[in-house]
Amino acid sequence: MNRILLVEDHERLAELISKKLAAAGIAVDVFDRMDSAMAAVQQVPYQALVLDRGLPDGDGINFLQRLRNTGLSIPCLILTARDALHDRVEGLEAGADDYLPKPFAMDEMVARVRALLRRPVHNIALDPVHGDLLIKPAIGIMCCKDDNVTLAPAELQIMLLLVSKKGSVVRRSALEAAGWGLSEAVTPNALDVALHRLRRKLLGIGSNQQIVNLRNLGYALRETDTTTAVE
């Protein structure tokens, strides 16, 4: 399932947007401030961003510019009551991909978000590779040479994060956020179950990569013959 980040401080509007997108099969994490949204985007590989301009801690344009300055090209739709031409131009020049003035029809908003989701996030490989593993997010499979296995949505997001780190350690909280987002309640053992299934799937396709638990640090993908701390 696609997961997007919504930064909107109007509680009722955020709820309506979230419900409409969820009905369209798009998961949403909602934040009402730029600082909390920035912390989220550093943990979760969102596929798109829906951003309000008028936020309690500043103009959403500043948030977007900060993302672009880090090299993150996540597709962005700006929502705003400012519909003057110079406002639209300002948003697009700051790095927005689309602009939807308030009030808007929910069906149009969903259509625009779907259009954003068809655009690649350029700083992430479309089919990322690590060691002998190839992940194909578009069809939800993990490949090793001539073998492949289907990944559940949470498993896919976890593997995408691990692969993107190229063997570096990833905190447990970051894996939970990647798998289930920051708005979903996660049962205490949900990550353990997902990691167990992923380890079995890695073995099943004959990969020399395995997910290791580096105690008190987190998890990482490492080659089997170089692993010393596995749980």
Domain boundaries, the chain: 2-117, 129-226
CATH number of the domain at 129-226, please?
Answer: 1.10.10.10
Angle 195-139-74 (CA atoms, 0-180°, nearest 5)?
85
Residue 172 one-letter amino acid: R
pLDDT (tens place) for every residue of the chain, 231 residues total: 688 999 999 999 999 999 999 999 999 999 999 999 988 888 888 889 999 988 999 888 989 988 887 777 788 999 888 766 777 777 777 788 888 888 899 999 999 999 888 875 544 446 788 999 999 887 889 999 999 999 988 898 899 889 988 889 998 988 888 888 766 667 878 999 999 999 999 999 999 999 999 888 899 999 986 444 444
Q: What is the pLDDT of residue 228?
A: 44
Q: What are phi and psi of 192, to 5 degrees?
A: -60, -40
**Enclosing H/E stretch for 48:** strand 48-52
pLDDT tens digit string along 181-190? Answer: 766 667 878 9
Q: What is the CATH number of domain 2-117?
A: 3.40.50.2300
* pLDDT digit string, tens, across residues 48-94: 999 998 899 988 898 998 888 777 778 899 988 876 677 777 777 77
Between the alpha carbon of residue 224 and those of residues 42, 146, 184, 207, 227, the distances in Å are 29, 19, 33, 9, 5
Element (DSSP H or E) covering residue 156:
helix 153-164
Residue 229: the pLDDT is 45
Q: pTM of the full predicted structure?
A: 0.60
pLDDT at 80: 82
CA angle (20, 188, 165) in 5-degree steps: 75
